[in-house]
């Protein structure tokens, strides 16, 4: 007899546990983000994102929610069938704009526009639902304190020693390849520059940390499914002497080809094996597989043009707290991100004199 899948855990505020020193940790995050912002602004006289500063593609697409999802998946944004406009930013996580040969994890942020419903307190005026993702199933650090320690290292090395960073990245890629050769994977090596030089469009992206999923709790993933995208999974990209090689690869692809990703949800079914407060633990897929809740479709287009740079890169903030109440971010890392993303948007707004605001429609965004 085929075993029945485990029942999803119902959302409760009791799933979160706030440490007594969380306010001071958040203050430390703000200090480090401002330090990174000061460093990059002094170098280029333009405020960048303090993390994920370098964009590799700015895209416009649509998200479709199918009819007849099972009740446990028909939650929040996914409760009713429909199609929404979406903007997508592809990036890498450093706080400075590095040569792509410093091979870092890949990021994907998706802003779904025109979403109505009760919202989290941090985005009461918005009509968007953001998913901020990286190409790994779990966060590199377990909690906000560890996040702060890694941000201090990032702040200390921002805008310094790019030649050394390239050399270190080359060495770390060799070490990471050896680790993977015996069936492992090192988040630390990948984060420090050991990511394989592979095509960003072949990656599967994960929220890594949980969020409320209506009555339940889930992590979200965007996985490529169209043949042209899946052909790029683990496909090598030559980045030697190509400082913007990833961006060039994205531009070349979308010049004549479109792509489709599945949107998938992994429901929490076990509070011990699938913790909320330890973001570094991958949730076991044999306990709860990722299940399809929608699709993201992006047609052929100019993937890096001036209009989108102004509208999406300069005037928009991707933030997991731009969210429906039904998709409230959960856990210490997500609570820290609320402070972090608000700080980054404020720095860019104050330094660049450019409003960083939430669009109510795609036309509103592109009119920026």
Which CATH number belongs to the domain containing residue 56 in this structure?
Answer: 2.40.180.10
Whether 211 maps to a domain, the answer reads yes
Whether 3 maps to a domain, the answer reads no
Instruction: Tell me the mean pLDDT in the region 58-62.
Output: 97
Nearest to 127 by CA among 178, 84, 181: 84
> For residue 330, which phi and psi values (nearest 5 degrees)?
-125, 150
Structure tokens at 2: 């085929």
Whether 239 maps to a domain, the answer reads yes
- pLDDT for 228 equals 98
Confidence band for 2, pLDDT divided at 50, 70 and 90:
very low
User: How many C-beta atoms surround the C-beta of residue 356 within 10 A?
Assistant: 18
Q: Which one is predicted more confidently, 49 or 319?
A: 319
Whether 100 maps to a domain, the answer reads yes
Instruction: Tell me the mean pLDDT in the region 133-137.
Output: 95
Is residue 214 within 8 Å of 326, Cβ to Cβ? yes
By percentage, how much of the chain surpasses pLDDT 70?
A: 87
Instruction: Tell me the mean pLDDT in the region 81-88.
Output: 98
- pLDDT for 274 equals 98
- pTM tops 0.85, yes or no: yes
Whether 216 maps to a domain, the answer reads yes
Q: Which one is predicted more confidently, 182 or 333?
A: 333
Q: Which one is predicted more confidently, 162 or 104?
A: 104
* Beta strand residue intervals within the chain, DSSP E: 54-65, 82-92, 107-113, 128-134, 205-206, 211-213, 216-224, 259-267, 291-298
Contacts of 195 (CB under 8 A, 6+ apart): 103, 104, 105, 106, 173, 176
Provide the domain limits for residue 84.
13-366
Confidence band for 181, pLDDT divided at 50, 70 and 90:
very low
Asked if the model's pLDDT at residue 171 lies above 80, the reply is no
Is residue 337 within 8 Å of 130, Cβ to Cβ? no
Nearest to 173 by CA among 95, 249, 102, 235: 102
- pLDDT for 159 equals 56
Asked if the model's pLDDT at residue 183 lies above 70, the reply is no
- pLDDT for 252 equals 97
Which residues are registered as beta bridge partners of 261? Answer: 224, 296
Whether 237 maps to a domain, the answer reads yes
pLDDT digits (tens, 9 = 90+) for 215-228: 999 999 999 999 99
Whether 7 maps to a domain, the answer reads no
- pLDDT for 191 equals 46
Confidence band for 46, pLDDT divided at 50, 70 and 90:
confident
Whether 6 maps to a domain, the answer reads no
How many domains, in total, are found in the chain? 1
User: How many C-beta atoms surround the C-beta of residue 208 within 10 A?
Assistant: 22
Average pLDDT value over all residues in the chain: 86
Confidence band for 95, pLDDT divided at 50, 70 and 90:
low
Confidence band for 345, pLDDT divided at 50, 70 and 90:
confident
Contacts of 263 (CB under 8 A, 6+ apart): 63, 220, 221, 222, 292, 293, 294, 295, 296
Nearest to 52 by CA among 9, 97, 22: 97
Confidence band for 173, pLDDT divided at 50, 70 and 90:
very low
């Amino acid at each position: 007899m085929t075993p029945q899948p485990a029942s999803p855990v119902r959302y409760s505020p009791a799933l979160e546990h706030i440490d007594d020193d969380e306010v001071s940790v958040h203050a430390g995050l703000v200090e480090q983000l401002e330090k990174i912002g000061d460093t990059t602004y002094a170098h280029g006289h333009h405020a960048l994102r303090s993390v994920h500063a370098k964009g590799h593609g700015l895209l416009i697409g649509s998200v479709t929610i199918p009819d007849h999802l099972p009740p446990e998946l028909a939650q929040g944004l996914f409760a009713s069938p429909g199609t929404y406009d979406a903007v997508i930013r592809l990036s890498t996580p450093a706080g400075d704009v590095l040569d792509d040969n410093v091979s870092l994890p890949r990021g994907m942020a998706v802003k779904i526009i025109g979403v109505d419903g009760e919202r989290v307190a941090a985005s009461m005026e918005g009509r968007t639902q953001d998913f901020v993702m990286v190409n790994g199933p779990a966060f590199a650090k377990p909690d906000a304190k560890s996040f702060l320690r890694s941000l201090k290292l990032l702040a200390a090395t921002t805008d310094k020693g790019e030649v050394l960073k390239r050399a270190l990245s080359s060495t770390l890629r060799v070490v990471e390849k050896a680790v993977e050769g015996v069936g492992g994977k090192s988040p630390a090596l990948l984060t420090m520059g050991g990511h394989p030089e592979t095509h960003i469009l072949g990656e599967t992206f994960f929220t890594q940390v949980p969020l409320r999923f209506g009555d339940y709790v889930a992590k979200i993933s965007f996985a490529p499914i169209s043949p042209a995208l899946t052909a790029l999974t683990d496909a090598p990209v030559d980045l030697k002497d190509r400082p913007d090689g990833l961006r060039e690869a994205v531009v070349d692809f979308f010049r004549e080809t479109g792509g489709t990703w599945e949107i998938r949800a992994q429901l929490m079914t076990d509070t011990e094996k699938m913790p909320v407060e330890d973001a570094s633990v991958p949730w076991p897929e044999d306990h709860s597989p990722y299940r399809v809740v929608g699709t993201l479709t992006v047609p052929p287009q100019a993937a890096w043009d001036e209009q989108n740079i102004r509208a999406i890169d300069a005037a928009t903030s991707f933030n997991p707290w731009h969210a429906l109440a039904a998709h409230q971010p959960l856990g210490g890392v997500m609570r820290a991100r609320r402070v972090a993303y608000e700080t980054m948007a404020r720095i860019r707004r104050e330094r660049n004199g450019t409003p960083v605001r939430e669009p109510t429609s795609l036309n509103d965004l592109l009119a920026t």
